[in-house]
Chains A and B, each alone.
Chain A
């Protein structure tokens, strides 16, 4: 399966950044869990080492088997399993941090949303690469929206807004890559923008004007035009009505859901502590293992979601910027692989996998530096966590798979 002709096209910068990030991750999991008073387990970094070995093996396997086997029926099978597990989570899942996100057998816990993300990418890639696919057709578009929409809603129900939005990110990225025009992308997003703005009338009015202008210039046919206007009007009118009928505690729950820091003292506090940790790192940092903020245990999730703040504190701007640039390289390599692939399925697969990385990295880092609300998303490759690491390596393995076979149509 892997001939020298194929392996010679392995994307070396991608491989290097992946391994490097995973090793940096283990180092900082070690640092974050080593302080004497910590309630966290001290041997976690060793466990992460074992996971790294498993992830490497799995990634290699995924890279070796030609990616075309995932096309068509396999894609739908994966997708069905993913959705099934998500449903299962809702009924029998473990509750962690106020949401049901986990499935487990004994000591092994696993987040089905990780698998669902990959499966959604595979299905969308398979769908959008069919020969006579026309994204100008409402039907095709609706099908794609449905494919991403179902897992989106299931994860939203858990409730996990952060992860669920990843499905929207995947959908938008892949539709764009599949050739959907900016206009259609915009129209697709209008109902969501509408909901968000309907609480503030001036913004909503402005948006309505912009939408009207875009629609006027778009020269859409009548049917889709009416559809867009109708959906937007309905959403704009219904949202405040529904809101007004909610019980106060239900409203409060939604506000907390959208922006935990607005209400939960703990979350807002975490962001401030994370910013202090990162900011106090200065230019060169306090030195590996010499962070002081972490010793105060202000950040309960510092070896998982807040690992980047430990990096920032101990290695300063130089280290944090280095890690950030590594992620940027990783993502840009993914885009390059997608572009290079001659096979449409391969290209879409690569860009889909890359979009997952982009979403997670940006949302997580923005959270630690106080630019985004606390969402509970891990930082891929760096954060402690077996499934997260494994999934990241599967993604990279797939991208490598496509990189090596870029010539194939």
Chain B
């Protein structure tokens, strides 16, 4: 490279700039060292020798959950938490003392000492924070700990917000609960950076679904604890980080309706009710029985109690409305009818060759109708109203599995509804490919379609799917994604972009309005005409359209089902009811739907006023 004197001159100038910069930066560092070590040296010496600096977490309250009318479903109350600081000076000096303190505390707090020791061992490794030994400690143990603080070094009683579900058992599956984050979740990158062991996290339901919003941001401050256990704010450091309360969630749920749905069940029975506004997809009530009490989890649940809840036989933790699938039984008939009309296998006036004698002969097999007396010759409207199985066997045969399953695919029958709740299960309406996979190509009988046509066999749906499809009939073929979120507000200001737009929730299935009108009028007949199976769902001054279902299941008594919407002419509410092992839909499910409709159309005024006034 050619010699060029020019850059050299520049290099001198640049060296000067660099030197000044470097000396300036290092002088700043030296100055900082001087102020830390010489000016504040004595103070830091004191801190290092006598006192203990502790991080005090200021737990942020979770956001509140309210119903569509602003009524409180979940809030927080102050509570006491007993904590221990494993890095207290006495434990650093004598690690064995930590165990003896913890064992003693186990006795006071009524917790198995082994569990506590294990907890302390785990949480000590991960952070410099105090460890929560017992949330929601009772006053007696709090008083004991406070009185004996000299013998319990590093043990503190701190005030923390406690998650409260004022209605206890009510709406438990919908709301979910909170619990301490698990080891497994802590490995998940979604949580590992923002959660610490011992933190609470939403479990199931809305608490889980909107965890990111409901959860506040914990604050912290550094405190100096002296030998007497007295705390003082550490001076000369960043201001404490104040906790930020989580955002509040308002649901589409109507408290009165939810209550009516839950109270409609006999004590001890199992089942689910889902009520949807067909115009918007808003879920008005979503109940699952039996319930559990989410309050039990907020304070930390014992292993024994957990086992009882999760394996006790009735599975109360299980949200039957979205996590369980059932054969829909005859509640599937309106949809099979739609399929038949849509593929022109039948018209509204078609009657089949074989009348109903109480059974249908298919090859060498006899397929029974639920009414042994038989229905004779029927057209569609009567067949639905009286739920004639023989009519639908023949409709299934004429429509064929190919065409019917294609139609059910259009109704998204085998897909999730996409409701904003975690762990929704998928239903199933099998198609020929499904049977080929299951039994081998061609190795299954065409007769399977007979059972499918009356909602038996392999077809299975969640109650929420059934409700969504019922709402689809009510709203003229518009399939709405059911949803529970109405709005999220932070400090009273709505958080934008969290509620999906209506357009993104709706899908037009593209059904013929005439076909829909036929099926709707048949469903009116189910409830309102003599011989209809759904008479028990009638409500004063409102025309209800519905369909009963009685689903056989291999594990026990029949499940009772009922789907309906009202008012039939201009539907505002669609309901799906399922009661496990309760027998006939007409007698065991329809009355429950009636109670929900009653609460919607004829609310019991005095109680509502009282609830509102109480807020």
Contacts and interface: CB of A to CB of B under 8 A. Distances in A.
Contacts of B18: 335, 351
A279 B43 contact: yes
Contacts of B615: none
Contact of A281 (B37, B128, B215): B37
A262 interface: yes
A312 B37 contact: yes
Given A335-B18, A409-B1, A324 B26 contact: yes
Given A272-B234, A324-B33, A283 B38 contact: yes
Interface in A313-353: 316-317, 320-321, 324-325, 327-328, 331-332, 335-336, 338-339, 342-345, 347, 351
Interface residues of A, number: 65
Interface residues of B, number: 59
A247 interface: yes
B30 interface: yes
A283 B1 contact: no
Interface in A155-190: 176-177, 179
B1 A328 contact: no
Given A266-B128, A317-B37, A272 B237 contact: yes
A199 interface: no
Given A248-B212, A339-B14, A369-B36, A272 B53 contact: yes
A252 B194 contact: yes
A394 to B, nearest CB: 21
Interface in A262-293: 262-263, 265-266, 268-269, 272-273, 275-283, 292-293
B193 interface: yes
A248 B32 contact: no
Contact of A98 (B47, B193, B241, B497): B193
Given A244-B496, A321-B30, A328 B45 contact: no
Given A252-B194, A262-B241, A339 B36 contact: no
Given A265-B57, A275-B44, A277-B48, A253 B194 contact: yes
Contacts of A268: 55, 220, 222, 238
B127 interface: yes
Tell me if B's interface is mostly helix, strand, loop or mixed.
helix
Nearest to B222: A272
Nearest to A248: B212
Interface stretch (A106-114, A213-221, A358-366, A378-386): A358-366
B240 to A, nearest CB: 11
A5 interface: no
A344 B36 contact: no
Interface stretch (B5-13, B344-352, B589-597): B5-13
Contacts of A105: none
A50 B25 CA distance: 33
B11 A338 contact: yes
Tell me if A's interface is mostly helix, strand, loop or mixed.
helix
Contacts of A98: 192-193
A131 B2 contact: yes
A275 B10 CA distance: 41
B190 A249 contact: yes
B41 interface: yes
B108 interface: no
B360 interface: no
B55 A276 contact: no
A328 B212 contact: no
B225 to A, nearest CB: 13
Given A279-B40, A335-B19, A339-B14, A265 B33 contact: no
23 contacts: A129-B1, A131-B1, A131-B2, A179-B7, A248-B215, A265-B220, A268-B220, A269-B128, A272-B53, A278-B37, A279-B45, A281-B37, A296-B92, A312-B36, A317-B33, A317-B34, A317-B37, A324-B29, A332-B19, A335-B19, A347-B7, A362-B25, A371-B29
Given A268-B55, A276-B53, 15 more contacts: A98-B192, A245-B497, A248-B212, A252-B193, A253-B194, A275-B44, A280-B44, A283-B37, A317-B38, A338-B15, A339-B14, A358-B25, A365-B29, A369-B32, A369-B33
Q: Which 8 interchain pairs have the tightest Cβ spacing?
A: A279-B44, A280-B48, A282-B41, A339-B15, A317-B37, A248-B212, A328-B26, A280-B44
